[in-house]
């Protein structure tokens, strides 16, 4: 280094040192602590990846999780203020929304038709879907399983009035079916596989061919209304983290299967088969709103909700916030 360069460097260092004399080194603010209420099953791959791969960390969010056996219970935790975010489906969102309870959808991350099943006792003369008439069929009231059962029966000219609906959580339904206390249940693929594993000679999955004509379940991330209104940066971080989880899922599918299998303590081949039935993609589109309206109409007709004062489409549109998604990835929003 020549003499003039050394002098210039010394002067610059001296000029830069003065304003920072006595200052402490800059550091990141402490990560924001949040709670996410999570549902359980093969089709919740992206939320599981969020926690197992900790995609939250990149956005200075420290997320802990609360596990629930259904999206309805996870949504209840959000509504009760026990969690800032929750993973649920359109069915409980429609039901609770029609009853005047408000939680806000900020993203959809997957959807499925074939991932729901009806598991039945083959030793009770239930070989076909029509054989369910008059049988005791369990599901959890007010959930996507309940809605699925209604739509499933409609394919075969039946309604919920044609069966005896038993209100059970998924783990209890599996136990009850294996024990013979019920004749069938409607829930996710995981529950069906568990029941078959415990009673392979007595339990079978009934055909659900053409179910996509009458049923689709939207898997969504919901937040408290307060978070959406007052913490937009946090909601944007959640959307970004979900998209990171989606990118991992699509570029490292084997790793995603391993993570989900570990989370559910299930065989990887079973998890892989189930996950193949779902469509993964973070976004917000018109079909979500359409199916919320269909769910809402069903909930009112089934006596699970009162008829709201306002139009159902207007009501459910008010429960979807596109702000974070538009800020992060506007091309993923096609909902007007």
Domain range summary for the chain, segments of one domain joined by +: 32-113+217-332, 116-213
pLDDT of residue 298: 92
pLDDT of residue 22: 36
DSSP letters of 299-317? Answer: HHHTTSSPPPSS-HHHHHH
The pLDDT-based confidence of 1 (bands split at 50, 70, 90) is: very low
Mean pLDDT within 236-263: 97
Q: Judge whether residue 9 has pLDDT over 70.
A: no
pLDDT of residue 173: 97
Instruction: Give ∠ CA 122-125-128 in degrees, rounded to 5.
Output: 80
CB-CB contact of 292 with 286 (8 Å): no
Give the pTM.
0.82
In angstroms, rounded to a whole number, what is the distance separating the alpha carbons of residues 237 and 57? 10
Look-up: residue for tokens 């998604």?
325
pLDDT of residue 157: 92
Pairing mode, if any, of strands 136-139 and 85-89?
A: unpaired
Q: Judge whether residue 18 has pLDDT over 70.
A: no
In angstroms, rounded to a whole number, what is the distance separating the alpha carbons of residues 271 and 45? 10
pLDDT of residue 231: 98
- Percentage of the residues of the chain whose pLDDT score is greater than 90: 76
Tens-place pLDDT, residues 254-275: 999 999 999 988 899 988 988 8
The pLDDT-based confidence of 28 (bands split at 50, 70, 90) is: low
pLDDT of residue 15: 36
Answer yes or no: same fold for 32-113+217-332 and 116-213. Answer: yes
Tens-place pLDDT, residues 188-239: 888 998 999 999 999 999 998 999 999 999 999 999 999 999 999 999 999 9
Out of 1.10.10.10, 3.40.190.10, 3.30.465.10, 3.30.70.380, select the CATH number for domain 116-213. 3.40.190.10
Domain 32-113+217-332 class?
Answer: alpha beta
Which SS3 state, helix, strand or coil, does residue 20 take?
Answer: helix
In angstroms, rounded to a whole number, what is the distance separating the alpha carbons of residues 218 and 69? 17
Tens-place pLDDT, residues 152-190: 999 999 999 999 999 999 899 999 999 999 999 999 888
pLDDT of residue 274: 83
Mean pLDDT within 51-76: 95
Tens-place pLDDT, residues 265-301: 889 998 898 888 899 999 999 999 999 999 999 999 8
In angstroms, rounded to a whole number, what is the distance separating the alpha carbons of residues 15 and 199? 79
Q: Judge whether residue 149 has pLDDT over 60.
A: yes
- Percentage of the residues of the chain whose pLDDT score is greater than 70: 91
């Amino acid at each position: 280094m020549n003499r003039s360069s050394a002098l210039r460097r010394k002067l610059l260092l001296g000029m830069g040192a003065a304003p920072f004399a006595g200052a402490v080194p800059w550091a990141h603010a402490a990560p924001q602590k949040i709670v996410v209420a999570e549902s359980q099953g093969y089709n919740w791959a992206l939320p599981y990846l969020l926690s197992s791969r900790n995609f939250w960390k990149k956005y200075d969010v420290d997320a802990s999780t609360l596990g629930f056996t259904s999206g309805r219970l996870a949504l209840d935790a959000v509504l009760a203020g026990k969690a800032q975010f929750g993973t649920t489906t359109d069915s409980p969102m429609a039901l609770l929304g029609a009853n005047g309870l408000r939680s806000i959808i900020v993203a959809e991350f997957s959807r499925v038709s074939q991932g729901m099943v009806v598991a039945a006792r083959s030793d009770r003369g239930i070989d076909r879907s029509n054989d369910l008439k008059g049988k005791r069929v369990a599901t959890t009231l007010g959930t996507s399983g309940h809605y699925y059962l209604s739509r499933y029966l409609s394919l075969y000219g039946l309604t919920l009035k044609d069966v005896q609906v038993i209100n059970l959580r998924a783990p209890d339904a599996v136990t009850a079916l294996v024990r013979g206390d019920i004749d069938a249940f409607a829930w996710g693929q995981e529950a069906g596989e568990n029941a078959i594993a415990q009673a392979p000679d007595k339990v079978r999955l009934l055909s659900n061919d053409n179910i996509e004509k009458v049923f689709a379940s939207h898997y969504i991330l919901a937040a408290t209304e307060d978070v959406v209104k007052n913490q937009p940066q946090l909601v944007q971080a959640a959307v970004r983290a979900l998209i990171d989880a989606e990118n991992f899922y699509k570029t490292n599918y084997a790793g995603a299967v391993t993570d989900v299998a570990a989370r559910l303590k299930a065989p990887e081949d079973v998890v892989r088969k189930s996950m193949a039935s779902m469509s993964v993609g973070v976004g917000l589109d018109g079909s979500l709103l359409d199916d919320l309206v269909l769910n809402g109409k069903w909930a009112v007709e089934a006596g699970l909700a009162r008829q709201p004062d306002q139009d159902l489409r207007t009501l459910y549109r008010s429960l979807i916030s596109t702000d974070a998604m538009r800020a992060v990835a506007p091309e993923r929003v096609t909902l007007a």
